[in-house]
């Protein structure tokens, strides 16, 4: 989990690209090695000896040689091109599939977080993509503001989230685990904090997760959490966030219905612990400069109450 790498693929699509990458490295490495050796050799062998002032033989070229070194790159390029086209077809869903199939997951880019919808089950979440291992998920990508870019090197190709131009890709993981990723099209001030993770489970575990996400947690009426749920309404939180089972239905910010089941807050900015959550509520921009959640000027008591409420949302 610590190491993300293009050459540590964990899906057929990422494998296809990695294989092309290895092919490219072999070709490029060979060419580079030849050129370095040649230039070093020539620099040594043909350097001017001190005192030798005579001009060398004047060679104006050699047509055959020049034709040869025009044709050889052609052949290399042809091989690389064919391999690329094969890889392209392997990695992308065909247009027939895009037309026929309903997407399994819709990712909507927002300035500095990821909105997630699973249209088939109705699950809504943010920033952490849960998928079952070994299943090819058809993903539709959109953006509601600027261009973002989905990049989780080990499990999928990179693709832009373009406003007004939905894109499709395959998302799949061979092994259960957490795969780290990040928005990689510069999208404004908090671009560096627009991280995401793909969490791959065995199918049974995924089903459990899915069920949990569809469960509507009861709204607490008493205690700290009850106070928190009231504050959530009063403090304008509901103008931006949704929580299932309440009348908070806004989508300016991430859906908070099952916030407590997520591992991070602020699109990977902080680990999701009660202490961090309290810090976040007091001053979101302190941890994620530019974040579009305002500082709500909450008192410590108010923060504790809201944290208790949000922690109860499982």
Binding site for ligand HEC (CB under 6 A): 112-113, 126-127, 190, 232, 235-237, 239-241, 252-254, 256, 259, 262, 265-267, 281, 288, 291-294, 296, 306, 310
Q: What are phi and psi for residue 191, nearest 5 degrees?
A: -50, -40
Q: Which is nearer to another protein, 47 or 297 (CB)?
A: 47
Which token pair is 217? 């947690």
For the bound state, the minimum distance from the C-beta of residue 82 to ligand HEC, rounded and expressed in Å, comes to 43
Q: 312: which DSSP letter?
A: T
Backbone angles phi and psi of 202, in degrees to 5: -65, 155
* Cα–Cα distance for residue pair 124/197, rounded to 1 Å: 16
Among 11, 125, 127, 182, binds another protein (CB under 8 A): 182
Distance CA 40, CA 44 (A): 6
Least distance to ligand HEC, CB of residue 86, Å: 39
| Least distance between another protein and beta carbon 1 (Å) | 10
The two tokens of residue 8 are 């540590």
User: Are β-strands 137-143 and 105-110 bridged in parallel, bridged antiparallel, or unpaired?
Assistant: parallel
- Indicate whether 6 belongs to the interface with another protein (CB under 8 A): yes
- Torsion, Cα 89 93 99 104, to 10 degrees, reads 180
State the binding string over 133-152 for Cu ion (x if CB under 5 A, else -): ---------------x----
Is residue 20 within the footprint of another protein (CB under 8 A)? yes
Quick one: which of 38, 97, 216, 271 contacts another protein (CB under 8 A)? 38
Binding flag, residue 2, another protein (CB under 8 A): yes
Q: Does 187 bind Cu ion (CB under 5 A)?
A: yes
Instruction: Tell me which residue of 225, 232, 251 sits closest to 314, measured CA to CA.
Output: 225
Residues near Cu ion (CB under 5 A) are 148, 183, 187, 194
């Amino acid at each position: 989990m610590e190491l993300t790498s293009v050459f540590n693929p964990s899906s057929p699509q990422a494998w296809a690209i990695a294989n092309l990458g290895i092919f490219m490295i072999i070709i490029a490495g060979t060419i580079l090695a030849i050129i370095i050796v040649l230039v070093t050799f020539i620099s040594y062998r043909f350097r001017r000896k001190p005192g030798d002032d005579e001009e060398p033989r004047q060679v104006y070229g050699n047509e055959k040689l020049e034709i040869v070194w025009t044709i050889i790159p052609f052949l290399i390029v042809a091989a690389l091109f064919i391999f690329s086209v094969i890889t392209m077809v392997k990695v992308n869903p065909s247009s027939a599939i895009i037309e026929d199939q309903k997407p399994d997951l819709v990712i909507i880019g927002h300035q500095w977080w990821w909105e997630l919808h699973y249209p088939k089950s109705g699950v809504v979440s943010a920033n952490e993509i849960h998928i079952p291992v070994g299943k090819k998920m058809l993903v539709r990508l959109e953006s509601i503001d600027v261009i973002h870019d989905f990049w989780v090197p080990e499990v999928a190709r990179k693709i832009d989230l373009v406003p007004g131009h939905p894109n499709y890709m395959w998302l799949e993981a061979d092994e259960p685990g957490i795969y780290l990723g990040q928005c990689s099209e510069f999208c404004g001030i908090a671009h560096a904090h627009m991280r995401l993770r793909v969490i791959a489970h065995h199918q049974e575990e995924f089903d459990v997760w899915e069920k949990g996400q569809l469960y509507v947690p009861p709204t607490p009426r008493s205690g700290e959490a009850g106070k928190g749920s009231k504050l959530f309404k009063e403090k304008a939180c509901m103008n931006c966030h949704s929580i299932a089972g309440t009348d908070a239905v806004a989508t300016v910010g991430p859906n908070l219905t099952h916030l407590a089941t997520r591992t991070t807050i602020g699109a990977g900015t902080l680990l999701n612990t009660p202490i961090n959550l309290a810090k976040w509520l007091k001053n979101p921009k302190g941890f994620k400069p530019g974040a579009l959640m305002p500082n709500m000027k909450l008192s410590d008591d108010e923060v504790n109450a809201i944290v208790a409420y949000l922690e109860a949302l499982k």
